[in-house]
Amino acid sequence: MTQTPSSFRCVLRNVAFALAAFFTLVTGPSALAQTNDMADKGERIYNNYCQTCHGESLINSGQSFDLRKLKVSEKSRFENSVQNGKNQMPPWKGVISPSDMEFIWAYIRTLANDKEINVAP
């Protein structure tokens, strides 16, 4: 019994479908992948501008604010303090763009004490 060419094509098509479905599943955009991507960008920006005072991975020995304490509900406090500065912290308006601030916020959420992550709407 040899396979006819047409049923062989059918098998090939099924394999192609399965592969396509698999790659869509693995590489397709998901909310979680997007959040991770934002956090990665945020980490790079944080390491450039904020790490010297706020510490590696947000951990510092008390010389500045512990960013892990920020709650998910305190995003506007975060934005306000970063833009306008606070006491020893310089204002970042004009240095850190609004989108960069979103990325830093996403990074902070991944290390925050309350692990709640705000997913963009």
Residue ranges in contact with ligand HEC by CB under 6 A: 49-50, 52-54, 64-65, 67, 77-78, 81-82, 86-89, 92, 96, 104
* Closest distance of CB 107 from ligand HEC, Å: 9
Helix (H) or strand (E) holding 76: helix 75-84
Please tell me the chain's helix, strand, coil percentages from 3-state DSSP, rounded to the nearest 5: 65, 0, 35
* Closest distance of CB 83 from ligand HEC, Å: 10
Residue 18 or 85 having the CB closest to ligand HEC: 85
DSSP state, 120?
P
Residue 75 or 117 having the CB closest to ligand HEC: 75
Residue 36 or 60 having the CB closest to ligand HEC: 60
CA–CA gap between residue 13 and residue 16 (Å, rounded): 5
The residue whose two tokens read 């479905």 is 21
